[in-house]
Structure 1
Amino acid sequence: MIEIDWIAFLQVFVAALVGAVLIVGFYALGLRLLVRAGRAPVVAPAEFTDAITVITEKEAQKAAKAAAKAAKKSPLTDAQKSLSMAGAYASFVLSGLAVLAGLLLIVLK
């Protein structure tokens, strides 16, 4: 007869849920603060298969220009932008630490 330890199952479920929420939450907050600081990430187009639509170089330049224009219009002071940038970096670090903590839980258990 197979017995299932439901308490252990619940502990793993809760740990995975909390870990996922922390990692995604800190990463999203970091991106939000990065955009608030006027540093919107612009990704260069890549070549993919036909299943994925790729933006052209002209569209990428237009997006970069729009991001630069939006950064110039920002009502934030330089100090507020610097604080947002520091918060973004801190959020990315916390997201990375959450990943490392999850890996340590796997390795050490």
Structure 2
Amino acid sequence: MTIHWDSFVQVFIAAFVSAVLVVGFYSLGLRLLVRAGRAPVVAPAEFTDAITVISEKEARRAEKAAAKAAKRSPLTDGQKRLALVTAYVCFAVCAAAVLGGLLLILFNH
């Protein structure tokens, strides 16, 4: 049994670069989404006692703070729209990278 080390290194580099790109574009997309005034607010979920869950009052307070921050944004409407479109493009790049990886796995054997 022989190990093709050059192939191993190629797969490692491809996986590392794609992971960095997906995480980078996703975080940039979230940042631009917040700058556009569309901060994602997640409703609290019910878990076991081992996980601390925020109350409904705290969730309302977080939504109110997000709305207040969106009103104070120094960006113009055009800049907000550009940030929103760019955020969606970043999310599309993430989806394309994941889909491309899946297609390589499924059809390139």
TM-score (norm 1): 0.96
> 1:58 aligned to 2:60?
no
Structure 1 residues 30-109: aligned runs within 5 Å:
30-109=29-108
Measured against aligned partners, the alpha-carbon deviations of 1:73-105 in whole angstroms (never above 9, x if no partner) come to 001000000000000010000110010011111
1:7 and 1:17 map into 2 onto residues whose CA distance is 15
Identity %: 69
Measured against aligned partners, the alpha-carbon deviations of 1:54-86 in whole angstroms (never above 9, x if no partner) come to 100000000000000000000100000000000
Root-mean-square deviation (Å)? 0.8
Q: How much has 1:22 moved relative to structure 2? A: 1.3
1:84 is paired with a residue of what secondary structure?
helix
Measured against aligned partners, the alpha-carbon deviations of 1:26-75 in whole angstroms (never above 9, x if no partner) come to 11010000000011110000011122111000000000000000000001
Structure 1 residue runs of 4 or more that deviate by more than 6 Å after TM superposition: none
Tell me the equivalent position of 2:26: 27
Amino acid at match of 1:33: L
What residue ranges of structure 1 are gaps of 5+ in the alignment? none
Amino acid at match of 2:94: S
- Count of matched residue pairs: 108
What residue ranges of structure 2 are gaps of 5+ in the alignment? none
1:101 and 1:26 map into 2 onto residues whose CA distance is 15
